[in-house]
Structure 1
Amino acid sequence: MEYYQEIRQYVGHRPLILPGAVVIIQNEFNEILLQERKPGLFGLPGGLMDIGESLEETASREVLEETGLFISDLELCQIFSGSDYYFKIDNGDEFYSVTVVYRTKTYSGTLQAKAQETLSLGFFPIDNLPEQLLASNKKFLEKCLDI
């Protein structure tokens, strides 16, 4: 059971602050790796921090779990937080995300959808990203890549 799920047992649906990390992975053509999370809905690989992890460790672990890739040479892009990152999901859980966005062009391994939340993976040109890109992830890309 993940940390936030344990906390939910005590606080119910009340708002939590959830730290996490996503990674903008660019290939040699400067295309961006995106993960299809639900049919037609795309986002950057990443996820929530576990107890005892650094945010860099969170980023590396989540990318490996979701894509099969090992990453290195993480460059801190920006931290996103505040009221713009408040969410209430279908089950009634509320949270404020604090998301650290990293960039890298250094990765190895074989690209493969490894996690339950990954339907497909692919590199997309910056000027031809899927229309159904998570709104928060679109902001991350706009700020970090000046697009």
Structure 2
Amino acid sequence: MSYISDIRKFVNHAPIFMPASAAIIVKYDKILLQQRSDNLKWGLHGGSMELGETLEETLIREVKEETNLDILSYCFFKNYSGKDFKITYPNGDVCYVIDHIYVVDQYKGDLKPQKNEVKTLQWFSFDEIPWDDLMHHNKIILKDFMKSLGK
């Protein structure tokens, strides 16, 4: 079980804070996105912290779980929170994510999507990002990231 699952036993679908880490995984001029199994939206790779974890440990674990990639280096990008980071999951759970975003450009391993959470993994050039099918909060993050690159 996970910390969030344990909390849900007490609060059911009520809004909770969810500290999380996520990765913008880049290769040349492309970004790796995942299509989620639960809502078929595209998004970044990451998830909620477990008790005792650091943000960086969360990042490394979540990327490995969702993509099968081992992170070799990462760089902190930005923190995000607030009303734009309210997520209502298909099962009715509501979270206000406190998202710590990292850029990952060095990694090893063969891409393999996590069976129960990730439908597919795909590289997108900056002009191919599926904006209409992207998780709302990830749109904010990726627009900030592209702006930081002058794109």
- Alpha-carbon RMSD: 1.6
Query: What's the offset of the Cα at 1:115?
Result: 3.6
**CA pair 90-40 structure 1, distance change in 2 beyond 3 A:** closer
Q: Which residue of 1 aligns with 2:2?
A: 2
In structure 2, the gaps of 5 or more residues are: none
**Could you tell me how far apart the structure 2 residues matched to 1:4 and 1:43 are?**
20
Q: Which residue of 2 aligns with 1:42?
A: 42
Q: Which residue of 2 aligns with 1:21?
A: 21
**Could you tell me how far apart the structure 2 residues matched to 1:90 and 1:117 are?**
13
Identity %: 37
What is the SS of the residue equivalent to 2:114? coil
Whether the aligned pair in 2 keeps the contact of 1:78 and 1:144 (CA below 8 Å) is no
Pair 1:135 & 2:136 matched? yes
Deviations 1:1-53 (A, max 9, x none): 110111111222322100111100111x2200000113752111111111111
What is the SS of the residue equivalent to 1:111? coil
**Could you tell me how far apart the structure 2 residues matched to 1:112 and 1:80 are?**
28
Whether the aligned pair in 1 keeps the contact of 2:74 and 2:102 (CA below 8 Å) is yes
Deviations 1:99-118 (A, max 9, x none): 11100110100111134111
Q: Which residue of 2 aligns with 1:124?
A: 124
Whether the aligned pair in 2 keeps the contact of 1:65 and 1:115 (CA below 8 Å) is no
Q: Which residue of 2 aligns with 1:107?
A: 107
In structure 1, the gaps of 5 or more residues are: none
What is the SS of the residue equivalent to 2:14? coil
TM-score by length of 1: 0.91
Deviations 1:95-136 (A, max 9, x none): 211011100110100111134111111111011112311111
User: Aligned partner of 2:36: which letter?
Assistant: R
**Could you tell me how far apart the structure 2 residues matched to 1:53 and 1:111 are?**
24
Deviations 1:29-82 (A, max 9, x none): 220000011375211111111111111111110110111100132111111101
Q: How does 1:70-109 map to 2 (within 5 A)?
A: 70-109=70-109
Q: Report how many aligned residue pairs link the two structures.
A: 146
**Could you tell me how far apart the structure 2 residues matched to 1:7 and 1:56 are?**
22
**CA pair 90-67 structure 1, distance change in 2 beyond 3 A:** closer
Query: What's the offset of the Cα at 1:87?
Result: 2.9
Whether the aligned pair in 1 keeps the contact of 2:40 and 2:119 (CA below 8 Å) is no
**Could you tell me how far apart the structure 2 residues matched to 1:10 and 1:122 are?**
37
**CA pair 115-54 structure 1, distance change in 2 beyond 3 A:** farther
